[in-house]
C-alpha cells in the first residue's frame, strides 16, 4: 500500500507543470478512487464470506443433529438385530420340540386305533359265538320238549346240541360251569349222545340261557363303554395334535417374520452407518473451511482498517 502511494506522488510531481490541478489534489483524487475500489472489493468479500459463514454454520448444525440422530438410529437397529436373533433362536428351539411331540402323539394315536380295531374284532367274534350259543340252546330246549332220543334228532337239533356243548366248554373256567346248572346240562348232553334218557329240567336250561344272554349283554355294554372311551381319547389326541400343529405353524411364521425383521434391520444399519461416515467426513471438511473463513475475516478487518 505504501508503494502505491509513493507511485502516485511521483506521478503527481511529473504532472505538476502540465496540469492546472495541483499535485495534492491529483493525489487525493487517486487516493479517493482507490479507496472506493478497495471498499467495494472489501464489501463484496465480506458479503461473500458472510453468506458462506452462515451456510457453513447451518451445515455444521444440521450435520451435528444428523450425527446425533444417526447414533440413535444405529443403537436402535443394533437392538432390533439382537432382538430378532433372539426371537429366531427361540423359534428354532421350539419347532423341533413341537415336531417331536406331534410325532409322538400321532404314533400313540395310531397304536390306540389299531388296538381298538383288534378289540372290536375280538368283540364281534365273541358276540357271534354268544348269539350262536343262545340259538343252539333254544334248539336244544325245543328238542327236549319233544323228549326225542339223540338218534332221532334232526340234523339241526344235533347241530344245536353240539354248539351248546362248545358254548359250555368256552365257559369251563367259571364257577357256573363247574358246579352250577351248566354241569347238569353237560351231563345231560353226554347222556343224550349215548342214548340214555334224562332231562336237566326246563329251569336249569333257562338258567344257562340267562347266563349266555347276560354274557352277551355284558359284552355289548363293555364294547359300548370301551368304544366311547376310545372315541373320547381319539378326540383329545386329535385336538392335542391340532393344537401342536397350530403352535408349530405360529413358530414357523414367527421365525420367518423375525428373519425378515433381521434382514431389514441389517440393511437399515448398513445405510445408516454409511450416512454417518459421510456426515462425519463433511463435518471434518466443514471445520477446515470454518478455519479458513476466520482467517479471511481477519484479513477483511485489516483491509477495513487500512481503508
Rounding to the nearest 10 degrees, give the CA dihedral for residues 80, 82, 87, 88. Answer: 110
Does position 119 have pLDDT exceeding 80, yes or no?
yes
Spatial distance between the Cα atoms of 245 and 222, rounded to a whole number of angstroms: 34
List, for residues 201-254, the tens digit of each pLDDT value: 455 667 777 877 888 899 899 999 999 999 999 999 999 999 999 999 999 999
CA 292, 294, 296, 302 torsion-angle sign: negative
Cα angle at 97 between 254 and 257, to 5 degrees? Answer: 10
Ordered by start, the domain boundaries in the chain are 2-84+266-306, 109-247
Residue 257 corresponds to which cell in the numbers above?
A: 417374520
Quick one: what percent of the chain has pLDDT higher than 90? 33
210-215 — which CB contacts under 8 Å span 24+ positions? Answer: 211/171, 211/176, 211/181, 211/182, 212/130, 212/133, 212/134, 212/137, 212/167, 213/134, 215/130, 215/171
Residue whose C-alpha cell is 319233544: 146
Question: How far, CA to CA in Å, does 1 sit from each of 4, 45, 65, 289?
Answer: 5, 19, 46, 28
The set of residues, in sequence order, having a beta carbon less than 8 Å from that of 223 and lying 6+ positions away, is 120, 123, 127
Maximum Cα–Cα distance across the chain:
189
Does position 298 have pLDDT exceeding 80, yes or no?
no
265 contacts 77 by C-beta, under 8 angstroms: yes
- Closest CA relative to residue 34, chosen from 2, 10, 66, 60: 2
List, for residues 254-294, the tens digit of each pLDDT value: 999 999 999 999 999 999 898 888 878 776 665 555 555 56
Calculate mean pLDDT across residues 81-105: 95
- Closest CA relative to residue 178, chosen from 206, 211, 213: 211
Amino acid at each position: 500500500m505504501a508503494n502505491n502511494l509513493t507511485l502516485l506522488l511521483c506521478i503527481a510531481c511529473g504532472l505538476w507543470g502540465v496540469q492546472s490541478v495541483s499535485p495534492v489534489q491529483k493525489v487525493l483524487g487517486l487516493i479517493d478512487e482507490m479507496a472506493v475500489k478497495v471498499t467495494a472489493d472489501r464489501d463484496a468479500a465480506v458479503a461473500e464470506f458472510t453468506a458462506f459463514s452462515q451456510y457453513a454454520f447451518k451445515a455444521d448444525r444440521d450435520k451435528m443433529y444428523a450425527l446425533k440422530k444417526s447414533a440413535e438410529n444405529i443403537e436402535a437397529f443394533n437392538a432390533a438385530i439382537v432382538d430378532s436373533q433372539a426371537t429366531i433362536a427361540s423359534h428354532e428351539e421350539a419347532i423341533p420340540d413341537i415336531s417331536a411331540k406331534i410325532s409322538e402323539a400321532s404314533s400313540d394315536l395310531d397304536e390306540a386305533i389299531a388296538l381298538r380295531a383288534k378289540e372290536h374284532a375280538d368283540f364281534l367274534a365273541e358276540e357271534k359265538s354268544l348269539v350262536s350259543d343262545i340259538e343252539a340252546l333254544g334248539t336244544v330246549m325245543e328238542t327236549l320238549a319233544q323228549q326225542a332220543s339223540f338218534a332221532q334228532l334232526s340234523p339241526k337239533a344235533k347241530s344245536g346240541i353240539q354248539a351248546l356243548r362248545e358254548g359250555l366248554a368256552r365257559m369251563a373256567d367259571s364257577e357256573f360251569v363247574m358246579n352250577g346248572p351248566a354241569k347238569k346240562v353237560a351231563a345231560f348232553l353226554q347222556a343224550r349222545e349215548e342214548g340214555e334218557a334224562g332231562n336237566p329240567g326246563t329251569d336249569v336250561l333257562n338258567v344257562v340261557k340267562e347266563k349266555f344272554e347276560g354274557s352277551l349283554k355284558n359284552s355289548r355294554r363293555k364294547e359300548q363303554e370301551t368304544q366311547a372311551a376310545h372315541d373320547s381319547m381319539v378326540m383329545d389326541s386329535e385336538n392335542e395334535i391340532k393344537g401342536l400343529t397350530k403352535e408349530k405353524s405360529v413358530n414357523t411364521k414367527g421365525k420367518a417374520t423375525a428373519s425378515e425383521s433381521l434382514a431389514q434391520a441389517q440393511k437399515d444399519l448398513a445405510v445408516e452407518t454409511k450416512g454417518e461416515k459421510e456426515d462425519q467426513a463433511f463435518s471434518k471438511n466443514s471445520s477446515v473451511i470454518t478455519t479458513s473463513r476466520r482467517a479471511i475475516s481477519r484479513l477483511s478487518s485489516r483491509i477495513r482498517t487500512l481503508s
